[in-house]
Structures are given as structure tokens and as C-alpha cells.
Amino acid sequence: MTTQHSAIEADRALKAKHRAMWAQGDYPSLAVELIPGLGAELVEACGVTPGRRVLDVGAGSGNAAIPAALAGADVIASDLTPELFEAGQRFAERQGARLTWQEADAEALPFGDAEFDTVLSCVGVMFAPHHQRAADELVRVCRPGGTIGLLNWTPQGFIGRMFAVMKPYAPPPPPGAQPPPLWGEESHVRELLGDRVTDVSTERRTVRVDLFSTPEAFRDYFKERYGPTITVYRNIAGDPERVAALDRDLADLARDADLGTGAGRTVLEWEYLLLTARRAA
């Protein structure tokens, strides 16, 4: 009993840290400025139509949930970090979208079995620390014959490489936690979902990002707005040499990846995996 209680408390503490991580910075503005079209791509790939009951897992400020609602679906945007909902509600109101916002842990969704026609996640569920638990929940709440749609950064792409750059400076992951970019590996996601899904379709795509004038501007933008990057810098805040090293490493990452096609701009291509599947009967 003591061991079980300790595990429960450890999980609560971990989720509290994740919630706090995403509540800092300004992820809503980052999503709007850098990847505004990805949610709509996922919604289109999932074939969302009017009247469908849709759950967005790790919805953040509604990058996918709002386009699903605008397509006429009955949408719940769920996220571990409800602090993101205020911005999402403003975005939805400006676009005339109606949807429900609900706090929820991707590894223990507060919904019934087979409750949704479509369960999707746009660079959201990938940050749940225990991948199999999260995948089990995606499948559980999707009705037989319903659609599961996922859009996640790949390990080989720019964001996956950014996480690899930050890893030596980050606090050690808790036992059992897996790296988020693994959700961008087709073989990993297929293994997570197993024979509970059919008609799996995958495609690697890229989104072009040309907001930044210099590699250093990219670094500073993420230092100010992106929760995982802010957390890593806070971990090494007492060591100026390591802070300077991470500053160099992140700027060098963008410098090496720069396509060099923008006059006075740093032009980046961020790779992601788009996967759709049907829950087996």
C-alpha cells in the first residue's frame, strides 16, 4: 500500500511540474505565430465533419480544437494546463468557434469508453511522459471505427534536434518517462497503438518558419516563450558557463539548419509526422 501511495504521489508531483512548465512563457502566441496551420491540417486529415464528436488531447490554446469546431464538430479541448485556455477562448471567440474547454490528464482522461468519433492531438500528447498510458487512453475513448489523428515533431527534425541539444542541460527525467519526439517515429506509434487500430496512414511533412531575423533571435524567442526551454534554462541558472554554452548551442542549431533562402531572415523547416488510423471494431 505504501509503495502504491508513493507512486501516486510521485505521479501527481510530475504532472504538477508539467502543468507549471507549460503555464510559463507564452505558448499560445508561439503556436499562433509559428505553426498556425498545423491544427487545421490535422483536422482535414481526420476528415472532421459537422456533428462529429471530437476530443483534442493536449489541446493547449486550441490549435486543432478551434478548426475542428469551425468544421461543425462538437469539440472538447482538453489539456493538463488550463492556464492555456484563456488565450484559446479569446482565439475561439474572435473566429466564431464554439467548443468546450476541460482540464484533463492525457494519461487518465476523464471521459467514457468509446465516447468520441475522432480523437486527435497536435504536438500535444507527445509531451505526456508515459507514452503507453497516453496511447491506451487515446484508443479507449475513441469509438470502434472512429478516427485517431496525431501530428508530432520527429526526432530527426528541427524540434527533435532542439530537444537533443537541451537534454544535457535539463534535469534528469523521472523513471519511466520517455522522450517526446519518439511520437514522431512511425514504428513507435504503431507499437503503442498495436492491433487496436487499422488503416494506419502516415506522412512526414514540414512547416517553414521564417519569423526570426537571426539564429540568436530564434534562441531568445524560445527562451522567453517556450515552457520546456524556459525550464532547462532555469535548471542551469546558477551556472553562467552552462547558460552561455546552451546559448551557443541553440543559436548554432538554428544556424546549421538555416536554409539561407531569406534575405535577412533565418529560414527553418520543422519536420513532423502526420498519422491517422481507425480504431478496430
Domain segments of the chain as ranges: 2-207+271-279
Look at residue 184 in the predicted model and tell me its pLDDT. Answer: 98
Beta bridge partners of 277: 148
DSSP one-letter code for 183: G
Look at residue 8 in the predicted model and tell me its pLDDT. Answer: 79
pLDDT class of 2 with cuts at 50, 70, 90: low
Average pLDDT on 213-217 reads 97
Instruction: Say what percent of the chain tops pLDDT 70.
Output: 98
Lowest mean pLDDT among 139-153, 166-180, 226-240: 166-180
Beta bridge partners of 275: 150, 202
Look at residue 94 in the predicted model and tell me its pLDDT. Answer: 97
Q: Report the predicted TM-score, pTM, of the whole model to 2 decimal places.
A: 0.95
Average pLDDT on 6-28 reads 91
Average pLDDT on 109-123 reads 98
DSSP one-letter code for 278: E
Residue 170 CB partners (closer than 8 Å, separation 6+) = 231, 232, 235
Look at residue 38 in the predicted model and tell me its pLDDT. Answer: 98
**Domain 2-207+271-279: CATH superfamily, name plus number:** Vaccinia Virus protein VP39 (3.40.50.150)
From CA 66, how far away is CA 92, in angstroms rounded? 6
Look at residue 193 in the predicted model and tell me its pLDDT. Answer: 98
pLDDT tens digits for range 48-88: 999 999 999 999 999 999 999 999 999 999 999 999 999 99
From CA 227, how far away is CA 18, in angstroms rounded? 9
